[in-house]
Structure 1
């Protein structure tokens, strides 16, 4: 993508992000805990990244507004309709992933 001008690259990245949001919206059965276990990010992370990007650019974006955008509805509504209770297996897998990340970060710090 290095051959693209900045505007075109930004437009393509924005289009890909919108497609990701649509994909997540079309697959509401995919739980945030599953995303965190497999990819180390979830819908809430995307919301936080939007807020951080706004702050970097001097724009104001409230976290709840960002979540509404990512979830396509108020978070409380999405949670009530679609979020399932994490299973013990999911929680264990999440904790294992977090422990691996912590160990990796510790090992990198020793180098």
Structure 2
């Protein structure tokens, strides 16, 4: 950011970066599983939807979990999940459990 940026500029830039992240995760890399994101990055697409819903609530906008997920996934979550999400492997589940217990 520069001294010339306005709060509106900052918001627009942040929004554009968020939209690009969503496009990357949804269209360019739907093969990356949510559990792998959780293991490697500490967040997943569902986390983004939760953060989206929380940000809306801070502005007095009520969204359901399903509405927030649809905003992030670009379609109803069950449809996206059926096309792209696989069952977690035992190794993925073990790695996630280790992180949750502080051993990862």
1:46-84 Cα shifts (integer Å, max 9, x gaps): 111011001111112222111112111111111111110
**Structure 1 runs of 4+ with >3 Å offset:** none
For the residue of structure 2 that corresponds to 1:16, the secondary structure is helix
SS at match of 2:101: helix
Q: Does 1:64 align with 2:49?
A: no
Question: Mind listing any 5+ residue stretches in structure 2 that lack a counterpart?
Answer: none
Q: Distance in 2 between matches of 1:61 and 1:16?
A: 22
Partner of 1:15: 16
Scaled by the length of structure 1, what TM-score is found?
Answer: 0.85
- How many matched pairs? 101
Q: Higher helix proportion, which one?
A: 1
Stretch of structure 1 that moved more, 52-61 or 30-39: 52-61
Check 1:2–1:56 CA distance in 2 against 1; reply closer, same or farther (3 A cut).
farther
User: Which of 1 and 2 has greater Rg?
Assistant: 1
* CA distance in structure 1 between the partners assigned to 2:55 and 2:2 by the alignment: 22
> Aligned Cα RMSD in Å?
1.3
Shift of 1:2: 6.0
TM-score between the two structures when normalised by the length of structure 2: 0.90
| Corresponding residue of 2:25 | 24
Match of 1:54 in 2: 56
